[in-house]
Structure 1
Amino acid sequence: MKNYPWLKNTYSNIINYYKSKYKKNTILISSTIDLGINILSYNIGKWILCSNKKKINYCNQCINCILMQQKNNPNYYKITTNNKNKKINKKEINTIFNNIYNLIENNYKKIVFIEEIEYFKKYINNTFIDNLIKPQKNTYFILNTNNLINIKKQINNKITIWKIINPNKKICIDWIQKKTKIKKKKCSIALKLSEKSPLKALNILNKKYWKNRKKLEIKLIEILNKENKLDLLTNLNNLENIEIIKWICAILMDAIKWKYKAYDIIINNDQYTLIKTLSKNLSIFSIYKSIKIWIKYINLFEINTVNKKSTLITSILNWENFLLKNKKINKCINN
């Protein structure tokens, strides 16, 4: 069974819940970060359909398990958004619900897996809720979300919600180390930078990201120590990776922590020179203002219709103008 180690307890708890006589046929699995809950949901669905279960494990040998592996099980329906556009295929939803509710009733179990339910918000009306609360015989709904607060009002107290909070740090770091063969300290920094998501941490540990992170660290130290021209546009214009922009926010937050001597909660604890330089050259207000500029860019980056290159250039220029103005003010105060 392919399952992430930080999800094993949750998997066991949900399976035992399904084995109890007090179960509901609809569950919602919620996580605020990327923890692989889609794989968890798949494993749960596979266990439900398996005709030769072994306690909390599916057999991987029966016809249902084989068809699940081949992604061809007629009793497993997956409803998802259309790739990056996050658009809903209404026709697909109607087809699946018609298959479930209009076919001649039989004893075969059916699974309906709805991924990222928050994007289906406009479909969550009373009829939809009624179908979730009182599904047809042998029909199970498994819903996923990374944004529970966005749909909680519509489904609150109506279905069983499983919240997956921050996973065990040691389990995550051990898994990352096993996958990458990278030192523990580096894995720990990557985990913090990825909002405690081991899957995201794995992605940002690639050589290109780490190389850009180091290059940008050196450039920012040089830029901040210059008297006049900053040249931010020349040095940052090619960095369209959103994770690098998030790193800029994290390093700015570390500079605030340094000012307050909160050294033990600094994320980038391999970049103290840059953190000290930022803390020395920028006031707390200036750091907050800088973070605000980059958070605005991150929010715009999520909108598909926005020209990302143009938005990045605008953000860099805004930051450069602000830092230059801040330097002049500091110079006047010092003189």
Structure 2
Amino acid sequence: MTSVLIVSDAWHPQINGVVRSLERTAEELEAAGVIVKFLTPQAFRTLPCPTYPEIRLSLTVTGRVRKMIRDLGCDHLHIATEGPLGIMAARVARKDGFPFTTSYHTRFPEYLSARLPVPLAWSYGWLRRFHNSGDGCMVATRSLETDLRDRGFTNLMRWSRGVDEKLFQPYEGTVLPADLPRPVFMNVGRVAVEKNIEAFLDLDLPGSKVVVGSGPQLDSLKRKHPDVLFTGPKVGEDLARHYASADVFVFPSLTDTFGNVMLEALACGVPVAAYPVMGPIDVIADTGAGVLSEDLREAAIGALDVPRDHCRKVALDFTWAASARQFLDNVEAAHDAFYARRKSAAA
């Protein structure tokens, strides 16, 4: 495999796990000699997604997407998202008869039902048809794979994630206000209803709570919780230093498929407190790098006793090089299987 085209509706200026995962995977693939190209909303006029303006929806037609895919001329097509670009790219691949894989990053049925009265079965039915129409659907964890298989998804492939251990590391000192009471319990990510951040903010905890990030729920949560420090979004070393300034990373989400932020916190030497659900079960499990409990306060308090050096050791088991190799193996397997089926059908 010499070249891969990745189609993604999630792209800059969004700051999220999908964008970071695609960027780091591309970097590792290119280092291994694979040409990686992207087709993203940056190539089109866009409009903000209703209720989620940070997400930009591409304004285009299938014919233009087809021409761009042909002009880019890659060996394999990977569709990272189920938005307008992903839908049109899959339509082109099916009609023109070439292989493509998809990846399942986000539990959109749960996200949608948190905002609108849409039955989960309807959303999952559409997603099942979309992902099953390809030659492989990549998922980050064992628990997600099991969940989707039980819902009728097929051709599932494992594609884990990594962490930049050079950027995310224990730093000396703190970037937080010097008078901020300790211990510091922190959450990092999109400030949105599906992240269940209020479950963290409502906890009766000693010390201070800090939320790093932005999103549609930011203003309302700031008004409701004036005692919480909301820093806004952070990137690069500034973000890493914020992680490292915390005593516990609290991850209250019930809907994430993985949770890259947990790995980033662990790499900075910060233990994780979370519910025992998909994502935390796969990342933390019985590693001893955090505490999982149905009682999130109990988990947060218990995580204070976790050794910080052990947290980083656990995080270093997740590398982007291994993640990219897994991605490429999946692409090659799907590609070969597609042409083997075509050859068999023609015989």
TM-score (norm 2): 0.29
Greater helix percent: which structure? Answer: 1
Greater strand percent: which structure? Answer: 2
Larger gyration radius, structure 1 or structure 2? 1
TM-score (norm 1): 0.30
